[in-house]
Structure 1
Amino acid sequence: MTIKTDKKAIIDIGSNTIRLVVYSYSPSNGLVEHHNFKMVARLSMYIQQNGELSEDGIIVLIETLKKFKEILLAIQVDDVFAAATAAIRQASNREEIVALVEKEIGFQLMVLSTDQEAYFGYLAVTHTTNIHTAVTIDMGGGSTEVTYFENKKLIYSHSFPFGAVSLKSKFIKGSMITSQEIKNLRKFIQDQFESLEWLKDLQVPIIAIGGSARNIVQVDQQRKNFGLNGTHQYELKRKDLAEISEGFAACSLEDLKKIDGLSSDRADIILPALETFRVFMDVIDSTTFSYSKKGLREGIIITQLMELFPTNFNVSEVTSKAIRQVLGKFGVMEESALHLYDIFYPIYTQFCEWGYIEPLENEAFLQYAYQLFHIGEHIDRDGSSQHTFYLLTNITIDGLSNKERLRLALLASFKNRNTFKKYVDTYPNIIPEEEYHQLRDIGALIKFVHGIDVLGKSNIRTVTLKRCEETINITFHVFENYLLEKYHAEKFKKHVEKISTSEVIIEFDMEETINE
């Protein structure tokens, strides 16, 4: 199905939930989610012994789709892609269901194969993270898809015919799981995973997709009082999963429903999912478990968008594309955001060589911070620093974890040392002391150069630096008028002097012609 309008709906008919999500896409703004509606259907519970989805299950499906169609009419979205996964795929009467959906609702229902479901999850992960080699696990209600990719190329994929809902039905009989039930559950899952030879001892990161993984991340953030917003690329260790499991196992169903971060409609199936992830880590011998907010639905729409915009989906440019799209939301072109970066960079590298600043390992990250410096001025100029910091710590930027976004926000929002300290104190125990000084001083250098470029079209061509016993001389080589640059250089040089603890002398050298 091709995209005919600026908004597109994906209906994801899973074994546990049925979800309607509405997106739009443009090269400048990227993929934007406008609406997200969920109905807990538990379709896998309606699969009968003869393999058919029962009449009651079909009624739940049709009634939910009717409600979604009413919503789509209300928001005037007519481009709809409906996909079904394990519950419908495993139903022996799936062809009748597909025909009934088209007759009653008018939707052409695509029943995804296990390979398609695994592929879409892999595609979403590789286009929205910077992890080059990993395994993915997408645990739904009735199936669990796993993939292994190297250098972002899919190597293996597999679908297991069990999910959180079916495991709960098979192994948990009461309102609280018993130690024997946990033992039986883990043994079953381990046997399943170990039957796949390529999974064993991979020793690579794990990227989890789906609602159960999201809930586990949210619970971990709540128990750690993790203040940074966002779940995409949030990481947990094996110890974290073990501690959460221990806490969950001691809870009744009613107690689980009260846990912050855990959806009440997922409380009864969270333990099977959690134990699956724990066993998965053991089999792979992985030390890192992270969550991808982007999964099946994003994979579907990315596949379709790649046909229309083939040059816009390069898996090696995940973060740079995401930064362009943040700029695009404010109508800022990438080229203009990088103005005078060629002046900033030699100042930065010279200060690193002189030992005033510890260099960043990732130079691309430095460029991102420069591009986004005080992006919040497009909201309100007087509060540009505060708006920048809040914006960057509260949006998802593909390819960056929560902690990386905090570092980016601290660099891009630098105003002065006091404000920097206030921002860091907002999120205690995340930025270590040595990194505190590194980010603070790099942010000050970025502010110095951006401060000089007050009109966004400075006539500065090059810069040279010289260090004497008690002074640092910075000479800007310019053409044409440099009155504003000179005024602002003197105004903001105090930030440079605090880094070097030396007097900074600013000079301007007029060049008569521009060398081509």
Structure 2
Amino acid sequence: MNASATVTGMIDIGSNTVRLAVYQVSSEGAYRVIDQGRWSARLSQKLAEDGTLPDATLAELAEVLRHYGSICNMHGAKQIRAVATAAIRQAANRDVALQRLKRETGLSVELLSGKDEARYGSVAMLRTMDFSDAFLVDIGGGSTEISLILGRKVAASVSFPIGCVNTAARWSLNGNPVPPALLEKIEAAARKLFEGEPWISSHPGLPLIGLGGTVRALAKFRQRSDNYPLSNLHGFEIEPRLLDESVGMLAALNVEKRRKVPGLSKDRTDVIVPGLAILRAVLKSAAASRIVVCGAGIRDGLFFETCLPREKTPSPQDVLNESVRNLTTLYPAAPREHLAQVNRLALDLFDRLAPAAGLGEPSRKWLDAASRLFRIGAVIDYNECANHTFYLLLNAHWYGLSHRETLITAAIASYRGPSQLRRKLAPYRTILKDGDVEASARLGVLLQLAAALDRSESQGIVDLDVAVEKGKSLVLTARARHPLPMEKMEVESIAKDFKKCWGLSPKLKAR
């Protein structure tokens, strides 16, 4: 990241948790999180009987905000934006609280309405996921926001004054086991609220995209319980039956026993059950098909609107393209002209060969992304470029693909032969479908061929004619600016591997 990068801090004062994210944006618009903080505030739980936030709570909150401000200043932040949600919104002394926080911290805290919360959550999801139609739910400590996304636009949204913390208090759960009858009452009360918004039940079968700590805690728990081979939460999918299983298991335990459950966040053990009860109520009211976790949240929505605003919501393909551009700008391991040439050649080869191989549009999308990212691992070490590429693409934050698609794209980008491919993918077989390994090999060697055609990194090939002769040879006739000795040698070196995958022997001719 160059010296002209700007740094911005985003603070979300939630009803359950106060979070900080520090973002760095380069002069080219590439961004990344460079620091973050998390404090379990439980503000909804600390409201006094008269509905005010006590002095001690405000003093503690001010100290946390000063600490977060110091972190931002340490990184040279030019701007710090702090927002508050349901707990302060619902506090009887909210105006006094906001004035005190400004006086003691120097931060002007913006009070978000429920609609604002829903909007920022929607922005975060639409900038980081490719769903066109979906329900969106954000379960906080003191409120729950539900939005309906149709055609990648917010068709409706609403905020309800129920969250995991105030629901636990209302039903006096106190960390005890929650009997099935009480769970039913909690869910029934939530669903009764939802009935006031008929649109929630008007689009059955859509996915339910979940933001916020409750859904992330559920995802971490499920990943640990099911030995899921990836740790990335963004895009993780949960079937309704697994939500039912999780609610039943955790509700039967008291807080002390929940704290010993592998994968369950320790600071959510007393509020996870009411949070999941609300989630299940939303799932049932919307008749959603599945839950998909969105790792982005209000802080990310604030960041996008503040630092990287857009006039229009990005299309699903835009989400992926912008994410690939962000990665290649953050990790410039190869000349852009070379990556663009390899990308063009790879897609030309695909368009000529894919129909006969039964490879469709998803395969083209994976190859498109992989051909722009296949050298990214060289930013760590050129000699182990393939292994580093695979690791980076599985662990870096980039968007627009499902977990399965990310894994396939990483395999294509890092392809170095069928044996290595099978070893790399072996730990992740539960994520893959039948035929994915074979498709990854075909696309991987196709990418290798495209890279071979620009081995000199000179973009010598102006135009490429691709022809299959006698069902045995792949004749590549290039109109070139100069002779292609390096390219011919590289094509010959991978010809045997290419024939194993495609049944064709590639030959390069220049004209």
The TM-score with structure 1 as length reference comes to 0.92
Q: Structure 1 residues 85, 342: CA separation in 2 closer, same or farther (over 3 Å shift)?
A: closer
Partners in 2 of 1:387 and 1:423 — Cα distance?
Answer: 12
- Which residue number corresponds to residue 40 of structure 1? 40
Q: Secondary structure at the match of 1:339?
A: helix
AA partner of residue 33 (structure 1): V
- Which residue number corresponds to residue 106 of structure 1? 106
Compare 372-381 and 400-409 and name the one that shifted more: 372-381
Aligned pair partner of 1:210 in 212, 223, 226: 212
AA partner of residue 391 (structure 2): Y
AA partner of residue 270 (structure 1): I
1:383-462 pair list within 5 angstroms: 383-460=384-461, 461-462=463-464
- Which residue number corresponds to residue 514 of structure 1? none
Q: Could you list the per-position Cα deviations for residues 334-388 of structure 1 after superposition, in whole angstroms to 9, with x for gaps in the alignment?
A: 5531204443334333333444x63443533321111112321232121111111
Compare 247-256 and 344-353 and name the one that shifted more: 344-353
Q: Could you list the per-position Cα deviations for residues 138-169 of structure 1 after superposition, in whole angstroms to 9, with x for gaps in the alignment?
A: 11111111111211211111110111000011
Partners in 2 of 1:389 and 1:304 — Cα distance?
Answer: 32
Compare 78-87 and 130-139 and name the one that shifted more: 78-87
Shift of 1:72: 3.7
Partners in 1 of 2:308 and 2:348 — Cα distance?
Answer: 38
1:20-31 pair list within 5 angstroms: 20-26=20-26, 28=28, 30-31=30-31
Aligned Cα RMSD in Å? 2.2
Shift of 1:431: 2.2
Q: Secondary structure at the match of 2:388?
A: helix
Q: Could you list the per-position Cα deviations for residues 163-182 of structure 1 after superposition, in whole angstroms to 9, with x for gaps in the alignment?
A: 10000111214522222321
Q: Secondary structure at the match of 1:441?
A: helix
Partners in 2 of 1:90 and 1:469 — Cα distance?
Answer: 72
Q: Structure 1 residues 486, 345: CA separation in 2 closer, same or farther (over 3 Å shift)?
A: same
Shift of 1:464: 2.8
- Which residue number corresponds to residue 513 of structure 1? none
Q: Structure 1 residues 249, 345: CA separation in 2 closer, same or farther (over 3 Å shift)?
A: same
Q: Does 1:238 pair with 2:240? A: yes
Q: Secondary structure at the match of 2:353?
A: helix
1:214-229 pair list within 5 angstroms: 214-229=216-231
Structure 1 residues not aligned, in runs of 5+: 511-516
Kept in 1: contact 2:144–2:160 (CA 8 A)? yes
Q: Could you list the per-position Cα deviations for residues 61-97 of structure 1 after superposition, in whole angstroms to 9, with x for gaps in the alignment?
A: 2232233334344444352111111111111211111
Q: Does 1:482 pair with 2:495? A: no
Partners in 1 of 2:294 and 2:158 — Cα distance?
Answer: 19
- Which residue number corresponds to residue 383 of structure 2? 382
1:298-309 pair list within 5 angstroms: 298-307=300-309
Partners in 1 of 2:96 and 2:473 — Cα distance?
Answer: 82
AA partner of residue 123 (structure 1): V
Compare 207-216 and 464-473 and name the one that shifted more: 464-473
- Which residue number corresponds to residue 95 of structure 1? 95
Shift of 1:436: 1.6
Kept in 2: contact 1:414–1:443 (CA 8 A)? yes
- Which residue number corresponds to residue 286 of structure 2? 284
Kept in 2: contact 1:459–1:478 (CA 8 A)? yes
Kept in 1: contact 2:114–2:145 (CA 8 A)? yes
Shift of 1:195: 2.0
Q: Structure 1 residues 32, 509: CA separation in 2 closer, same or farther (over 3 Å shift)?
A: closer
Percent identity between the aligned chains? 25
Kept in 1: contact 2:12–2:18 (CA 8 A)? yes
Kept in 2: contact 1:229–1:393 (CA 8 A)? no
Q: Structure 1 residues 469, 83: CA separation in 2 closer, same or farther (over 3 Å shift)?
A: closer
AA partner of residue 287 (structure 2): D
Shift of 1:192: 1.3
AA partner of residue 103 (structure 2): K
- Which residue number corresponds to residue 269 of structure 1? 271
Q: Secondary structure at the match of 2:262?
A: coil
Kept in 2: contact 1:234–1:402 (CA 8 A)? yes
Partners in 1 of 2:293 and 2:359 — Cα distance?
Answer: 31
Partners in 2 of 1:27 and 1:322 — Cα distance?
Answer: 16
Q: Does 1:132 pair with 2:123? A: no
AA partner of residue 466 (structure 1): V
Partners in 1 of 2:439 and 2:307 — Cα distance?
Answer: 40
- Which residue number corresponds to residue 339 of structure 1? 341
Q: Secondary structure at the match of 1:433?
A: coil
Kept in 2: contact 1:138–1:208 (CA 8 A)? yes
Partners in 1 of 2:329 and 2:313 — Cα distance?
Answer: 16
Partners in 2 of 1:354 and 1:414 — Cα distance?
Answer: 22
- Which residue number corresponds to residue 163 of structure 1? 163
Q: Could you list the per-position Cα deviations for residues 17-40 of structure 1 after superposition, in whole angstroms to 9, with x for gaps in the alignment?
A: 112221122364633111111111
1:78-89 pair list within 5 angstroms: 79-89=79-89
Q: Secondary structure at the match of 1:261?
A: coil
- Which residue number corresponds to residue 19 of structure 1? 19
Partners in 1 of 2:328 and 2:5 — Cα distance?
Answer: 24
Q: Secondary structure at the match of 1:268?
A: coil
Shift of 1:505: 5.6
Partners in 1 of 2:57 and 2:356 — Cα distance?
Answer: 70
| Residues matched between the structures, number | 503
Q: Structure 1 residues 14, 353: CA separation in 2 closer, same or farther (over 3 Å shift)?
A: closer
AA partner of residue 63 (structure 2): E
- Which residue number corresponds to residue 61 of structure 1? 61
Q: Does 1:145 pair with 2:145? A: yes
Structure 2 residues not aligned, in runs of 5+: none
Partners in 2 of 1:49 and 1:17 — Cα distance?
Answer: 21
Q: Structure 1 residues 377, 212: CA separation in 2 closer, same or farther (over 3 Å shift)?
A: same
Q: Secondary structure at the match of 1:137?
A: strand
Partners in 2 of 1:18 and 1:483 — Cα distance?
Answer: 60
Kept in 1: contact 2:5–2:25 (CA 8 A)? no
Partners in 2 of 1:463 and 1:130 — Cα distance?
Answer: 34
Compare 5-14 and 261-270 and name the one that shifted more: 5-14
- Which residue number corresponds to residue 49 of structure 1? 49
Shift of 1:241: 0.5
Aligned pair partner of 1:464 in 451, 463, 466: 466
Compare 460-469 and 129-138 and name the one that shifted more: 460-469
Kept in 1: contact 2:23–2:34 (CA 8 A)? yes
Kept in 2: contact 1:29–1:326 (CA 8 A)? no
Partners in 2 of 1:345 and 1:406 — Cα distance?
Answer: 20
Kept in 1: contact 2:139–2:211 (CA 8 A)? yes
Kept in 2: contact 1:397–1:405 (CA 8 A)? no
Partners in 1 of 2:115 and 2:486 — Cα distance?
Answer: 61
AA partner of residue 252 (structure 1): N
The TM-score with structure 2 as length reference comes to 0.93
1:492-503 pair list within 5 angstroms: 492-502=494-504
Shift of 1:491: 1.3
